[in-house]
């Protein structure tokens, strides 16, 4: 996930967190123009470890830029802008 974001947005500093309610991993970063947050679901995280995921991370940057609040959620079934 972090590598995909760095490829898309360049030299960014990524801050990680954890949502105790949803158990999502939170990935926050700032560009010259905006702040962004990616929520990674626990299901995606476990699928990634087993190499079973089929989510195309190449669309993540475009979805983040197009979202109203700079947020997206990555799940087992795909990426949703929020």
pLDDT tens digits for 42-77? 888 666 666 666 677 888 899 999 999 999 998 888
What's the CA gap between 24 and 8, in Å, rounded?
A: 22
Helices first, then strands: H and E counts in the chain = 3, 5
**Could you tell me the residue range of the domain that residue 67 belongs to?**
2-81
**How would you class 70 by CB atoms within 10 Å of its CB: exposed for 0-12, middle for 13-18, buried for 19 or more?**
buried
Query: If you ran DSSP here, which 8-state letter would residue 11 be given?
Result: S
pTM of the model: 0.84
Tokens (6 digits) for 35: 């702040």
> Per the structure, how many domains does the chain have?
1
CA 37 to chain centre: 7
pLDDT tens digits for 2-44? 888 999 999 999 999 999 999 999 999 999 889 999 999 888 8
């Amino acid at each position: 996930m972090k590598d995909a974001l760095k490829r898309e947005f360049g030299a960014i500093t990524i801050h990680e967190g954890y949502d105790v309610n949803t158990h999502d991993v939170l990935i926050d970063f700032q560009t010259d123009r905006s702040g962004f947050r990616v929520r990674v679901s626990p299901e995606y995280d476990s699928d990634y470890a087993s190499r079973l995921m089929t989510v195309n991370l190449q669309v993540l940057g475009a979805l983040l830029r197009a979202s109203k609040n700079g947020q997206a959620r990555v799940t087992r079934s795909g990426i949703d802008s929020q």
